[in-house]
Amino acid sequence: MSNPLPVTVRTATSRDSLEVRRILDGAMLEIGDVDARIDAGDVFVATGAREHPRESDDERLLGALVCEPREHERGARVSAVAVRRRRRARGVGTALVERALEREGALTARFDESVRPFYDSLGFSITRIDDRRYEGERRRSA
């Protein structure tokens, strides 16, 4: 990770909806009804100071994580985690996952091989689902 960014992670509000969608779109992730997930309190956003004075205010939202509560188990499933391209590999995604884990107690995620190093670095226990997909799980430390 290069030069970590100071970030604050908070629960998204309806005012964040457009920027959350832009961040998810930028990562080519499709999540059903983002507004419903925001209304349910299941979307976290990472915010931070602008690095360059020319950046617009919407650049302050650096990343987003969308959770879905698991029906019969404690914790949540990570539906998506995305960080603005210029802010990747700087701790933003890690901060989002850590905040979600703090609240939920346990997280699961399904992902492609290309993002496995991210989940490995966060200490997820990972198993192969098929030739291209993995599932990971992590529980909050006691």
User: What does the pLDDT look like over 20-59, one tens digit per residue?
Assistant: 999 998 888 887 889 999 999 999 999 986 655 555 544 4
Look up residue 58 and give its two tokens.
Answer: 């919407």
Residue 127 resides in a domain? no
Q: Is residue 122 part of a domain?
A: no
What confidence score (pLDDT) does residue 89 get? Answer: 78
What is the reported pLDDT for 108? 95
Tell the burial category of 78 from Cβ atoms under 10 Å away from its Cβ (0-12, 13-18, 19+).
buried
Q: How confident is the model at residue 140 (pLDDT cuts 50, 70, 90)?
A: confident
pLDDT of residue 32: 80
Q: Is residue 54 part of a domain?
A: yes
Q: Is residue 59 part of a domain?
A: yes
How many Å apart are CA 66 and CA 85, to the nearest integer?
Answer: 18
Structure tokens at 18: 């457009």
Per-residue confidence (pLDDT) for residue 26, from 0 to 100: 84
Q: How many independent structural domains does the chain possess?
A: 1
Q: What is the CATH number of the domain that holds 53?
A: 3.40.630.30
In a domain? residue 115: no
Domain of residue 51: give its range: 8-106
Cα separation of 138 and 125, whole Å? 6
The reported pLDDT for the residue numbered 67 is 94
Amino acid of residue 133: R
Domain membership of residue 28 (yes or no) is yes
Task: Report yes or no: 45 and 83 within 8 Å, Cβ to Cβ.
Answer: no
pLDDT score, position 134: 95
Answer whether residue 31 is part of any domain: yes
Q: Is residue 51 part of a domain?
A: yes
What pLDDT, on a 0 to 100 scale, did the predictor assign at position 119?
Answer: 95
DSSP annotation of 53 reads: T
Q: What is the pLDDT of residue 30?
A: 80
pLDDT band at 142 (very low <50, low <70, confident <90, very high): low
Q: pLDDT by residue (tens digit) across 58-109?
A: 448 999 999 988 776 788 999 999 999 888 878 899 999 999 999 999 999 9
pLDDT(18) > 50? yes
